[in-house]
């Protein structure tokens, strides 16, 4: 038992402190949703500890006091002890009530109904990236969810293919994204910052690479982001490498899957209107740098197993020009 406890302590300590800059921990709740879950967990865990201590103590006492000794008489069996029987029926029933009531309360509190005036965000799961649409703001973006602090967020989730699960441990989830139906969560956070999440339902080869980021911003910063996202994609300067890249993009296979308003209207992959302004690419897997974008376009499946974007027949100056174009789309 001490060994098991020690192992548990080691595992728990590995979850907090040190580690990556954006730990995905449910023990550091940053929204009303995740605080509800954390409180429920802490409450039930406390009950479990009390039960554990009582049961293990009784067990140890029984082992010590009633173990077989040479020459000792057989212990007297207890049978039909009314007081004991009522006791060990009532106590677990009461504990179950203490667990069930807050559990039900939390289930209803996290059922997904946002208050009036909440910001609606549609999350669409794809193998293996996240599409975000803001229906009231007319924005479509990918993998990086920007939300304002202090505003209730209504997340409406569905899938374009298999079942995924939206999970940002510090903020909310996990809830399944299922094709043909809409699941909801609602949450509100006052903590400006960046929170990482992860698909939490096995969805194929790159399930583990289906990451997401939530960027919680003060109102004014969020408004600026919204304005930027709603603006038409940048027009490259005449004669610039980016303009050359735009011409190549127009003739490439890229247009079959990606939208750049005014240039292409593909709907299979992420909208690229402002791809240059994102911090990461490929399901928040790689930093959005020239080098990782180059590797990604040349051979996406080599960078991310199973990636549905086929290797592109682009290289040399053509690829450089396309990179310049995509990076100009801030």
Q: Which residues of 155-184 are buried (b: 16+ CB within 10 A; e: fewer)?
A: bbbbbeebebbbbbbbbbbbbbbbeeeebe
Three-state secondary-structure class, residue 84: helix
Could you tell me the smallest distance in angstroms from the CB atom of residue 179 to ligand CUA? 12
Q: Does 197 bind ligand CUA (CB under 6 A)?
A: no
Could you tell me the smallest distance in angstroms from the CB atom of residue 23 to ligand CUA? 20
Three-state secondary-structure class, residue 246: helix
Q: Does 284 bind ligand CUA (CB under 6 A)?
A: no
2-61 positions binding ligand CUA, by CB under 6 A: none
Q: Does 179 bind ligand CUA (CB under 6 A)?
A: no
Contact 187, 30 (CB under 8 A): no
Q: Does 202 bind ligand CUA (CB under 6 A)?
A: yes
Contact window for ligand CUA (CB under 6 A) among 74-82, 188-196, 199-207, 259-267:
199-207
Angle at 176 between CA 195 and CA 108, to 5 degrees: 85
Assigned token pair, 160: 């374009």
**C-alpha dihedral over 102, 106, 108, 110, to 10 degrees?**
180
Q: Does 207 bind ligand CUA (CB under 6 A)?
A: yes
Contact window for ligand CUA (CB under 6 A) among 29-37, 200-208, 224-232, 322-330:
200-208
Q: List the one residue out of 279, 114, 284, 131 whose CA is nearest residue 197.
A: 284
The burial of 294, by beta-carbon neighbours within 10 Å (0-12 exposed, 13-18 middle, 19 or more buried), is given as middle
Q: List the one residue out of 281, 253, 280, 279 whose CA is nearest residue 268.
A: 253
Q: Does 131 bind ligand CUA (CB under 6 A)?
A: no
Q: Does 125 bind ligand CUA (CB under 6 A)?
A: yes
- State which residue, 174 or 294, has the beta carbon closest to ligand CUA: 174
- State which residue, 167 or 249, has the beta carbon closest to ligand CUA: 167
Q: Does 201 bind ligand CUA (CB under 6 A)?
A: yes
Q: Does 306 bind ligand CUA (CB under 6 A)?
A: no
- State which residue, 129 or 134, has the beta carbon closest to ligand CUA: 129
Could you tell me the smallest distance in angstroms from the CB atom of residue 181 to ligand CUA? 16
Q: In whole angstroms, what is the distance from residue 261 CA to residue 255 CA?
A: 11
Compute CA distances 98 → 50, 89, 94, 159, 308, whole Å.
13, 15, 6, 37, 49
Could you tell me the smallest distance in angstroms from the CB atom of residue 162 to ligand CUA? 7
- State which residue, 88 or 202, has the beta carbon closest to ligand CUA: 202
137-166 positions binding ligand CUA, by CB under 6 A: 164
Residues in contact with ligand CUA by CB under 6 A are 125, 128, 164, 199, 201-203, 207, 210
């Amino acid at each position: 038992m001490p060994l098991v406890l020690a192992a548990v302590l080691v595992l728990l300590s590995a979850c907090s402190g040190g580690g990556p800059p954006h730990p995905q921990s449910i023990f550091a709740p940053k929204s009303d949703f995740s605080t509800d879950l954390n409180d429920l967990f802490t409450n039930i865990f406390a009950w479990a500890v009390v039960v554990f201590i009582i049961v293990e103590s009784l067990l140890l006492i029984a082992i010590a006091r009633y173990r077989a000794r040479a020459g000792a008489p057989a212990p007297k069996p207890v049978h039909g002890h009314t007081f004991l029987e009522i006791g060990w029926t009532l106590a677990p029933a009461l504990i179950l009530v203490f667990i069930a009531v807050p559990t039900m309360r939390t289930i209803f509190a996290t059922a997904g109904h946002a208050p009036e005036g909440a910001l609606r965000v549609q999350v669409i799961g794809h193998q293996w990236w996240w599409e975000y649409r803001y229906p009231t703001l007319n924005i479509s973006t990918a993998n990086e969810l920007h939300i304002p602090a202090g505003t209730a967020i209504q997340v409406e989730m569905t899938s374009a293919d298999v079942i995924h699960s939206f999970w940002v441990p510090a903020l909310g989830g996990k809830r399944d994204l299922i094709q043909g139906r809409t699941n909801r969560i609602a949450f509100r956070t006052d903590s400006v910052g960046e929170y990482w999440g992860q698909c939490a339902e096995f969805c194929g080869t790159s399930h583990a690479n289906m990451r997401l980021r939530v960027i919680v911003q003060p109102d004014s910063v969020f408004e600026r982001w919204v304005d930027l996202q709603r603006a038409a994609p940048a027009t490259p300067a005449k004669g610039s490498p980016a303009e050359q890249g735009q011409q190549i993009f127009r003739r490439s296979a890229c247009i079959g899957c990606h939208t750049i308003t005014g240039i292409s209207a593909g709907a299979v992959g992420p909208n690229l209107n402002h791809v240059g302004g994102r911090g990461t690419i490929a399901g928040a897997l790689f930093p959005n740098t020239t080098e990782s974008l180059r590797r990604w376009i040349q051979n996406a499946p080599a960078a991310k197993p199973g990636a549905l974007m086929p290797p592109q027949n682009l290289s040399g100056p053509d690829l450089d020009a396309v990179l310049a174009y995509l990076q100009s789309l801030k």
